[in-house]
Structure 1
Amino acid sequence: MSDGPYTPPPNPGRFVVQSMLALRAAVLKVLDLITPPELTVVEHTLAVMRTQMVHVAAKLKLADHLENGPLDAPELARRTGAHPDALERMMRALVQIGVFRRERDGRFGNNRVSRVLRANALGGPAFPEYFGASYHAHAWAELEHTVMTGKSAFERVHGTSFWGYFEKHPDQGATFDEAMSRITELDTPGVAALPVFREVKKLCDVAGGSGMLLAGILAKHPHLSGMLFDQPARLEDARARLRQRNVLSRCEFVSGDFFEAIPAGADAYLLKDILHDWDDARSLTILKNCRRAMNPNHRLLIVELLVTDQPAYPMVHFLDMEMMTVLSEGRQRTEVQLRGLLDEAGFDLRTVHPLPGLSTLLEATAR
């Protein structure tokens, strides 16, 4: 995390993002119509290679090494400790799929895509580092188990839950936390700008992790006080972020387990990308614990990617597969499914706020 002044990330409107995705989907659909289907199947099958190449590029910090200008493969290999010939061949393949560029003299340089992999970039390398990691790839290799049983392939492969694995491998857990924090950074300006926070006095961010979202909301709304609720180890990192945003004095930290109880004392509770990690039964437990902590008419705010059938946005279906295969039988849900869970837990869904980008905030009140 940088010690410099915070600069909010660019925040394209939802219409702009969806329009770009719709145009991209339309172009790909036309290309699919004129491409032999056998070749399309081969390309889909080889997609795992893309994942692993981008993963290795992120892990070796190649974009950072190229930040000051193009380098040839031997120099890149010297700086990263890689095998020169193997690295050149991988870079050549990455250039072909639009990640990095190659100069006429054979040197490799950054392009608009590879720059996202720099450590100080908005996206950063943590997301491809997580998705391409061997422990994650091993779970996906057992997708058939999940499809046949409905049970987590990750738990079958590793003999423990996703979260239990990180307790035994904290370095991998730190990479995952950083990846999720970078994603939250994209959503923070849109969430913080919602008018609902003008009517809230104290906000509890449930399982708020790094504190990225709560810090952004508190910075935007000086009248607000905050409560960050998470496991003790995560709260320490969050303190530094809240201090950096000059909002630490307005936030309290409470540790605990949301399956057991959620602290009372706030008039609004926030769940960002939490429910999708869990099946309906455990999601209901979280929601009911929120309800027990709340007074009637207090607000519950849920940020999730909603499942739709729009062809312009297949990513939500891929993430749904991730929740099913890797997490504890989690799932991305439709608005109707979330409304049903909220109703059963004692909430009324009042408003649905589409956010810039692709996430949605659902605002409910306690009955």
Structure 2
Amino acid sequence: MAATTPQPAQPTPATPPPAFQAMFEVVTNFWLARAVHAATELGIPDLLADGPRSTAELAASTGTDPRALHRLLRALTATGLFRTDGQGRHHTTALGETLRTDVPGSLGSFVLMELGEAHHGAWGRLLHSVRSGEPAFEEANGRKIWEFFEQTPVMAGHLGRAMTGLTAMVADAVLAAYDFGPYRRIVDVGGGEGGFLGAILTAHPEATGIVLDLPQAVENGRRRIAEAGLADRCELTGGDFFEKVPEGGDLYTMKWVLHDWDDASCVRILRSCRRAMPEHARLLIVDTVLPDDDSFSPGKIIDLNMMVLSGGQERTAEEFRTLLDAAGFTLTRILPTLSPSSAIEAVPTGAPHA
């Protein structure tokens, strides 16, 4: 019997330790985020809304190189945004559908805003914020973020739509946690296009309300309010919440407003609200409340975004209490919701409350 020649052992692929694998994914997540931005900017989710298309068809519609587009779609298909069928055509998945512009709560504008060149460039200068304590947005773009939105109508539109889409994710959670029933006149300060107040008024047909925000924001919201059948109960008024807030409300709400600003600016906004409020009125702040310990909270990452973009911040319960005290309010309770945001209730200092 002939002897056999021993075969060399095949190398076993090395498996990286879990910590190294996890860190690799952290570091490369921005590649995926930018790929999602590219597909959204090209309008791929919208192009697939009416049915599947081949890469060649999508390339012709988007003016892109077919081979390069194939590589982009291949990567995003592997991560679950799209899928292919047996005929080589592309379909959206439930994940990809969230980026369509025609779906309720669309995240398409959020992607275009947060991952666009201005915001992405600001994050590239995170170290500037860490070293200086100042927003990196101005360093990256030569103007403050609010000037950028004022001077860039397309991005201002994305901001309004992004906030409307994100509001749809949190409004039901806040409505489930907080009883809006006792209030007949609600003033939403910095309420954008009226999505949050619209959800409250829809759930409480006996209530009316006012949205205060910059003129362009509320103008963009008029159609949404009319389409929701709320035009006779919801007034949208343009103005500056640093200077004057509508008077006579029973409840004053602020969703994702204070986290945009530093402490001194927050106190100015809160004092403006306090001047407008009757003694019986209440204030409801919807924002992330950071835990005091080392546990994970999405708010700790959002906090970095606020630092980089506007100089704002997320806050702990004690930090909210300090702001409210300085502006003439007493914090009464903080209600967690089934979302990253909490409902923070306060009353004018000295006013009776249950």
TM-score of the superposed pair, with normalisation by structure 1? 0.85
Cα deviations by residue, 1:104-127 (Å, 9 ceiling, x for unpaired): 544332222112112223333111
CA RMSD between the two structures? 2.1
Partner of 2:25: 43
Partner of 2:167: 184
Higher share of residues assigned helix? 1
Question: Which of 169, 178, 183 is matched with 2:152 structurally?
Answer: 169
Are the counterparts in 2 of residues 264 and 293 from structure 1 also a CA contact under 8 Å?
A: yes
Matched, 1:316 2:299: yes
For 1:195 and 1:167, how far apart are their aligned partners in 2? 34
Q: 1:162 to 1:311 in 2, by over 3 A?
A: same
Partner of 2:233: 250
Which runs of structure 2 are paired with 1:19-38 in the superposition (5 Å)? 35-38=17-20
SS of the equivalent of 1:348 reads strand
For 1:271 and 1:347, how far apart are their aligned partners in 2? 14
For 1:105 and 1:267, how far apart are their aligned partners in 2? 60
Q: 1:257 to 1:68 in 2, by over 3 A?
A: closer
For 1:275 and 1:242, how far apart are their aligned partners in 2? 24
Partner of 2:213: 230
Unpaired stretches in structure 2, ≥5 consecutive residues: 1-14, 350-354
Question: Which of 89, 111, 116 is matched with 2:71 structurally?
Answer: 89
For 2:343 and 2:134, how far apart are their aligned partners in 1? 29
SS of the equivalent of 1:199 reads coil
Once the 2 structures are TM-superposed, how far is the Cα of residue 279 of structure 1 from its aligned partner? 0.7
Partner of 1:221: 204
Question: Which of 299, 309, 325 is matched with 1:343 structurally?
Answer: 325
Q: After the TM superposition, which of the residue ranges 94-103 and 335-344 deviates more from structure 2?
A: 94-103
Partner of 2:9: none
Are the counterparts in 1 of residues 248 and 278 from structure 2 also a CA contact under 8 Å?
A: no
Once the 2 structures are TM-superposed, how far is the Cα of residue 315 of structure 1 from its aligned partner? 2.6
Partner of 1:201: 184
Once the 2 structures are TM-superposed, how far is the Cα of residue 152 of structure 1 from its aligned partner? 0.4
Partner of 2:224: 241
Partner of 2:101: 119
SS of the equivalent of 2:338 reads coil
Q: 1:138 to 1:198 in 2, by over 3 A?
A: same
Once the 2 structures are TM-superposed, how far is the Cα of residue 49 of structure 1 from its aligned partner? 1.1
Cα deviations by residue, 1:286-340 (Å, 9 ceiling, x for unpaired): 111111111223100000122237888543222111000011x101111221122
Partner of 1:67: 49
Partner of 1:304: 287
Cα deviations by residue, 1:160-197 (Å, 9 ceiling, x for unpaired): 21110111111111112111110011222233455532
Partner of 1:135: 118
Once the 2 structures are TM-superposed, how far is the Cα of residue 39 of structure 1 from its aligned partner? 4.0
Once the 2 structures are TM-superposed, how far is the Cα of residue 149 of structure 1 from its aligned partner? 0.9
Q: 1:210 to 1:302 in 2, by over 3 A?
A: same
Matched, 1:54 2:21: no
For 1:210 and 1:228, how far apart are their aligned partners in 2? 8
Matched, 1:110 2:92: yes
Are the counterparts in 2 of residues 77 and 87 from structure 1 also a CA contact under 8 Å?
A: yes
Question: Which of 336, 341, 349 is matched with 1:359 structurally?
Answer: 341
Are the counterparts in 2 of residues 146 and 325 from structure 1 also a CA contact under 8 Å?
A: yes
Are the counterparts in 1 of residues 160 and 192 from structure 2 also a CA contact under 8 Å?
A: yes
Cα deviations by residue, 1:10-69 (Å, 9 ceiling, x for unpaired): xxxxxxxxxxxxxxxxxxxxxxx9745444433322222111100111122212222344
Question: Which of 280, 305, 312 is matched with 1:330 structurally?
Answer: 312
SS of the equivalent of 1:248 reads coil
Partner of 1:101: 83
Are the counterparts in 2 of residues 51 and 131 from structure 1 also a CA contact under 8 Å?
A: no
Q: After the TM superposition, which of the residue ranges 210-219 and 108-117 deviates more from structure 2?
A: 108-117
In structure 2, give the amino acid aligned to 1:97.
T
SS of the equivalent of 2:290 reads coil
For 1:359 and 1:36, how far apart are their aligned partners in 2? 32
Provide the aligned length of Structure 1 versus Structure 2: 334
